Structures are given as structure tokens and as C-alpha cells.
Structure 1
Amino acid sequence: MASIEKIKELLKSTETVLELVQQANGELVLRPSGSDSEPLVSIKFSDQVQAVLGDNAQALGQHMIQSAIYMMMEQQSARWHAEVFDVEPAHYS
């Protein structure tokens, strides 16, 4: 499984197209589109959970990944805003 740093680097690029693919063994993987490289994220549900979820397993995996990406974007946004507010102004009004 790829590290968070690798995912952050990928998301920093100007444009990244990702695909969520369900492999033959039922594992969901997030990877750059059209690539057979190591997955950025993989989700494997147990057989018991897979049986309960049925066709909804891929939708659940997609929501999990979307939540993670949203959280990372929120953290990045907070860092950008913190950098702006941490700069001392040249003049006070």
C-alpha cells in the first residue's frame, strides 16, 4: 500500500485522473488512470462483509476514498490559510 506522502505528491500535480477498479479477487484499488502501477489505496472487504454488501461494496469503497481525499484537501486548505495568517503585516491600520 502506498504511503500518504505518495498520495499527497500525486494530488499536488496539475492534473491527475484516478480510477477505482475492482480486481478479480474483490479488492478495490485506486490508481492513476490507465496504469498498472502499485495502487495508491486498496480496500479489501472480508467475505462476510462482501456477502452482506453485495453490489454495494464498490459504492462503499468509493465513498471511503472520497472521504479520505476530501479530508486531505481540507487539511491542505487549512495549511494554506494558516500560512497567510501567520505572516506579520507590514503596516497596521
Structure 2
Amino acid sequence: MSASLLEIVDLGDGEIVLQRADDDSEPLVVIQFSEESRVYMMENSLEVAKAMIQAGIQAVAVMAEQGEAEAESGAEGPRVLH
């Protein structure tokens, strides 16, 4: 992925997207909250979506590090996801 500027946008209909700021292409991530969820979160859905996106980025970084370590050690085997 290129090093372009990303933005999180609340579309106002329960959808929050992560998209490139300088591009009109398809969003990279779409988070859609149900009406019930939005009522429960009150006005905090944007903050929740931001935390979800940050957690996803951190998880990808950890997986990339694990993949590099496995590649260096030459160990291949079944992957277990909990």
C-alpha cells in the first residue's frame, strides 16, 4: 500500500469508512453499525470505529512480524487462530 494520507469519515448513516484522502477510490475499510449499536454508543461511534481500525493495524503488524520470524526460522506448520 502506498504512503498516502488516510482519513476516517463518518458517512452519517451508520457507516464509517477509512479512505485515502487524495483519492476517490473505494474505501479501504467500511464499518457499519446497526441502529441499536448507534443508540447504545450514543455519539461515540466514530471513536469506537477509530479504535477498531487501530486494533486491526496493530494485529496486522504483529502477524507480519510473526510471518518474518517463521520465514527466518524455516518453521512451517499449521497456523492456529484463537
TM-score if structure 1 supplies the norm length? Answer: 0.70
| Rg (Cα) greater in structure | 1
Alignment of 1:9-88 (within 5 A): 10=1, 13=2, 15-86=3-74
TM-score if structure 2 supplies the norm length? Answer: 0.78
RMSD: 1.8
User: Which of 1 and 2 has higher RCO (CA within 8 Å, sep 6+)?
Assistant: 1
Unaligned runs of 5+ in 2: 76-82
The structure 1 segments of at least 4 consecutive aligned residues displaced by more than 6 Å after TM superposition are: none
- Percent identity, aligned pairs only, is 29
Q: When the two structures are aligned, how many residues end up with a matched partner?
A: 75
* Structure holding more strand per residue: 2
